[in-house]
Copies of this chain bind each other. A is one copy, B any other.
Amino acid sequence: MNNKVLVSIAMPNEKDLEVMLEAVKMLESFGIPFEVVVASAHRSPEEMIRYAKGVKERGIEVIIAAASGAAHLPGMIAAFTTLPVIAVPLKSSFLDGLDSVLSMLQMPVGVPIATVSINGGRNAAILACQIIGLHNDNISHQIDELKISLSEEVAKQAANVKL
């Protein structure tokens, strides 16, 4: 696999990396080149737009965007690109992230985003890999391996249950 970045992870604050590190680790374990970007739809909109407009022509295939509260970042990136955007609602201080979810879920017709679970960085990365894996046998193979490992982990736990 060459070094062309395939996944771009965007988040509004440096500290969101704490949660999104799960996405980072998952992509690293797959060997998928990625980048991490701090971008804010509200506080730095010009840079966010430049980022969103340019991401496709840089050959990136999937965007993972996290946000919390009035969580506009994934939706606004989707407004400027036709790449698939995976949205990660971050747990907020209000209703455990229900505000983040509802700010993402009901996007208008024509501008979809793919919402995963609250703080679901790892699942966002796996979904990105499933998409990339459609035309990348290496990744596709690794996704298959991951699925097997999930079931092996359950089997191990099943064998270990002690009362």
Contact = CB atoms under 8 A, between A and B. Distances in A.
B131 A45 contact: no
A131 B38 CA distance: 24
A103 interface: yes
- Among A39, A113, A114, chain B packs the most CB atoms within 10 A around the CB of A114
Chain A contact residues (Cβ within 8 angstroms of B): what range? 35 or more
B107 A116 contact: yes
Interface of A: 12-14, 17, 24, 36-47, 49, 61, 68-72, 75-76, 78-80, 82-84, 86, 91-99, 101-120, 122-124, 126-127, 130-131, 133-135, 140, 143-144, 146-147, 150-151, 153-155, 157-158, 160-161, 163
Given A42-B110, A43-B151, A75-B72, A105 B83 contact: no
A126 B154 contact: no
